[in-house]
Structure 1
């Protein structure tokens, strides 16, 4: 569990955790090291104090010259002090009688150091032994190490900060926004990665623009002969041939409109706008796109079911499903019904020979089949753009293509 947490956590969290661990470890080591050194120094100073007490008394007794004693104290590390409070305390301790001659020494150990008072009938001089701390250099090294560690932490965060910009741009790119720039101006590995990603986005943007220009040019060139053909048909005398030609040109015009929608959808320029509408509206639109006048070809269980989807894209998917169902159905009919939140489009015939996942791949074609093999691939992508999923079932000699989650109100359920 801990391993999974460490793997899934962000890189900034890992860096911060590593810095805190290093900082706390260093502070803990410093604390225990200084504590141990203080204890050792206290023991050494205690031994030094005892040695001083044992040696100063004979020197004071034997020497009559205060300068000799002063020189000894200086060599031992004492310096002259002017602390009036300590001096007064030592003078008042065991006051010397006025008739006593010679030099006397009084000692006092405090937390601030060791004091010794050399006293004669004429004068008294206070000396202090305050050992220099051996930890000053270590304190300086510790502070410098903490500062360096903190600076390295800040530098690491600054080095990885562009990852957030790169992540934001990649997220925009995944949502279809190609108008992004990932140039960071850094020379490190992250900067190189951002530069390569920016190059890839530029190439994809250029490819999309050329593809879009190519498709639009084709559609424009196709529109010209279709328009001329319809004008020529309008000048013909009324006949069944004229009606057939007009229907053919209408069909070609609707196909170009479908290609335009698909091009917008693939280039991420089409904005899906869902709304509620009755199933009858979508079926009528699909019939018009298929140029079907025969109502018996499409059998609907209830036309009052309420659908919520993008009307244009949804009718485009229905049109392709109806076209496939009629084309490959044994009775050349398509059956439509709602079941809970799903819409089922069915036809009577043999089951699919391959797995359904193969049919939704681009350019998939069974043996001897006509067309480009894009029908179900287009249907799948059109539905997925609306967050719908299409599945397949075969029951009772019927092929069922199920659009899941598009029905918001089932009239049969209400009646029941």
Structure 2
């Protein structure tokens, strides 16, 4: 239930409580006023009318009073009956009753409420006669449709109030959408709410917060890029100096460390390039089988890798260099955690995904120890590793999968990782065949 509907319900309940309290207070006030001021006048009024009619009652005087006061008067005297409207009736038709719609205060008068031919009368008793005074109808007849007018007015007021509440709280939908977009990483998105009230100021504050975060992240990227570029120079000098040192285990260890630093710098630079929405992709038609074969041949020529299911997949638009990095990182991770006798499976297939769109999947599966479920959601975060010891055997600083995720998303795709302890890990990179979502397209 929306906030507007809840406010309408609160408004209606508050109105009902208020009307009930006001009605109760008014009724108590009217009852006290009737008891102390009106009741004596009514009794006196009927006494005057009774005296004018006389005792025994004078039918002519009663007829003149009925016309002058616009009352229905019925008289029963000495077995005879008379009615001001000329309606014949019998004394036996006068029946005592208690009508629910007659105000209770009338029951406290020294008069008896009776019914005659379906109408209510107040009956005064004399020594040898009875005088009946007709009571006007205090409730509308069933055929009276006047009650529909206030009902329509109430419905129209509720509709107007609901429309006003919807207008007042309409910025909340824009705020919700904006917070969701910004929370998903779209820091360039701004909430468009032209209001000067509290909701407008809240939207302005959220926009300012997104701008500040974007500026901080841009500064961080610039710093990383500057540091990475600056590190390249001393690494190059160190490699030149290495060429002057005699070969041996220490030299091999230093060379391996320098190579890891080069890979780290390249990954930082590439991930920051992909973080920028202005970095274009070099797209070309590529056959998945050819791409996988080239990566395996270049980087893993002697590894136990099984390629399957790629022949029937047609070419699609991809960035060859970045897709090579993605496949290389996924296969390299799989080989690190798989025993040498167990193969790493690499396959590619196409199916129909959401919205009936064709999707091409690149799958890399190993038979390693697997990854605990609590790590899976964080594997594609920068500098995150399921193995916190960062041993040389497994290598890496936690940028490989983050870079793979950035490459997949720049192609409009996604990277999903599933794993089970003791049963290996499966990494799936999925890309829409129609190229929807590719950066710059």
TM-score normalised to structure 1 length: 0.48
